[in-house]
Chain A
Amino acid sequence: MKNFIRGALLGSMTGVLLFWYAGIGDHFPAIVAIIIFVGILIPLESQERRMEQVLRTVEEIQRRLEIPETAGAAPLAAASSIDVVDAEEEPTFIPSMQADASTGRPAPQKKRTVDRSLGDVAKKLSSMQGKG
């Protein structure tokens, strides 16, 4: 409603100015209608954009509050706490993960082909080390 009134006022004022100063009185109704229409649409669109922006900001703030707890600490802190695997410790096997089958597209991989044949190298290594 607020936008409509604002648009109507803007349109009317512009129309009146055109009528008096530009001498286009014959087309006055059509011009006013166009101006009112544009006057309503532009504020509506910008209002929508502002709302989206506000929503995104709110969501972002929420995420910033939540994510650091799970997204990892600073690398230096990590470096200082890396010595957690003890030689004496029995290795703890994490059970197989139950990932959702409906994962997204495969992670993009960089691919290339190296123009090299490794068969002979592997044979040479085999002959030097024996089979196994």
Chain B
Amino acid sequence: MNEPFDDEDDDALMTAPKTPARSPAARESAPTATGGAQRVNVGLDVGTMNLVCASLNQTGKVDISTLRNVFLTVDKTHLGEMDLSKISHARIDDSIFILSNDAYNFANIFGYRINRSMQKGMISPEDINSADVLAIMIRELIGTEGGAQPGRCVYSVPGDPINTRSNVLYHQNIIGRIVSEIGFTPEPLNEAVAIIYAECADTDFSGISISFGAGLTNVAVVYKSIPVLEFALSRGGDWIDDNVALAVGTIPNRVVAIKEREFDINRFDTGRKKERKVREALGYYYTNLIHYVVKSTVKELDRRDLDLGFPDSIPLIISGGTSLAGGFLDLVREQVQKEEWPLGLSTVRYASDPLSCVAQGCLIKSLKA
């Protein structure tokens, strides 16, 4: 069974980036598999919490750049003559938007709640400026410089959630428009399908993938590279954070901070009393999420009445930032075994790189042909 979080595996898979400069510079003359020496193809994972870009570097390896998909809105008049040249920001009308990690720092200093340009896997309807701010961040991430010409950009989109009324049409079009304004030829790809492209070449791109993201959980069944079924469930890491915060009387930011400190679903005996309470609540909500997702997936597979009698068993690939908690995979396996699946599963394993496999799958798709 492939365990990607062993130190050895990490060391084998990842090396230090060769160019500390901005990613566009690093992509200036990267060759593409499409034959055009100056065309740059990229895979873009547009996630609720992170924007991830995958591109080929000059040695043919994959460069991964990640940007936190958050911002903070401040009124220009409040900043006065403050020098913002060292802070990542953008100005729209009278507002200033502090971007990405700088936004986090500011929010922590002043005790503000951070803004998210996306919620539940799609562009946030909460803030009218969400799409504009997202456009700036995507441009910083995938924009090309120098002589490089933008080629194809395959970007990830979620599936339509089956348990809410929302759908991805608006979100997909907006991201497509942003990408094409940068100069790339945009092409959407379901994020769970992208995981199969990145992880299942050895099974001829057949498999089931479940991507546990911050806003949504995406599921796809792919057979011989053809998507058979794609859908999303509107529960993910944010759902856990919000509910834990409500249960123990704290704010979601604090829950996230604890969650990101070596959290194990089965252990809540570390930290002070309040932290132990948060860890215990996290354990319950993680368990509930896994239970809900596995049950809903099997139910949906049954409900669609598809002919899933594939000749071979296929792997189930687990991915996404929310799946990184200790004990997560064991719990998924446990839950998977309890259910009666309408197709044969050969293995249940993590993606080799759960934080970038969607972007890698998109890149593979962009290099195709």
Contact = CB atoms under 8 A, between A and B. Distances in A.
A119 B169 CA distance: 31
A100 interface: yes
Interface in A65-113: 66-68, 70-76, 78-79, 81-87, 89, 91-94, 96-100, 102-113
Q: Interface centre among A98, A123, A125, by most B CB within 10 Å?
A: A125
B65 interface: yes
Interface residues of A, number: 62
Main secondary structure of the interface of A (DSSP, over half): loop
A2 interface: no
A82 B115 CA distance: 15
Q: Interface centre among B18, B88, B181, B252, by most A CB within 10 Å?
A: B88
Interface of A: 59-60, 62-63, 66-68, 70-76, 78-79, 81-87, 89, 91-94, 96-100, 102-126, 128-129, 131-132
B61 A71 contact: no
Given A79-B120, A85-B122, A105 B62 contact: no
A56 to B, nearest CB: 10
Contact of A111 (B20, B74, B116, B367): B20
Contact of B363 (A110, A118, A131): A118
B57 to A, nearest CB: 7
24 contacts: A59-B78, A66-B78, A71-B115, A79-B120, A79-B239, A85-B167, A97-B135, A102-B91, A103-B89, A110-B65, A111-B19, A111-B23, A111-B26, A112-B16, A114-B13, A114-B62, A114-B63, A118-B33, A118-B363, A118-B364, A121-B198, A128-B205, A129-B368, A131-B369
A96 B33 CA distance: 31
B73 A71 contact: yes
A84 B122 CA distance: 11
Contacts of A125: 197, 201, 205, 225, 364-365, 368
A121 B364 contact: yes
Main secondary structure of the interface of B (DSSP, over half): mixed
B368 A114 contact: no
A78 B170 contact: no
B: interface residue count bin? 35 or more
A103 B88 contact: yes
B270 interface: no
A91 B73 contact: no
Interface of B: 12-20, 22-23, 26, 33, 54, 56-57, 60-68, 72-75, 78, 84-92, 95, 99-102, 110, 112-116, 119-120, 122, 124-127, 131-132, 135-137, 140-141, 164-167, 169-171, 173-174, 177, 181, 197-198, 201, 204-205, 224-226, 234, 238-239, 241-242, 246, 252, 353, 356, 360, 363-365, 367-369
A73 B122 CA distance: 17
A85 B119 CA distance: 12
B64 A104 contact: no
B58 to A, nearest CB: 11
B165 A83 contact: yes
B64 A111 contact: yes
Nearest to B64: A112
A92 B174 CA distance: 9
B120 A82 contact: yes
Contacts of B137: 107
B73 A70 contact: yes
Contacts of A84: 125, 166
A117 B75 CA distance: 46
Contact of B13 (A72, A87, A89, A116): A116
Contact of B368 (A74, A109, A122): A122
B335 to A, nearest CB: 24
B101 to A, nearest CB: 5
B61 A106 contact: no
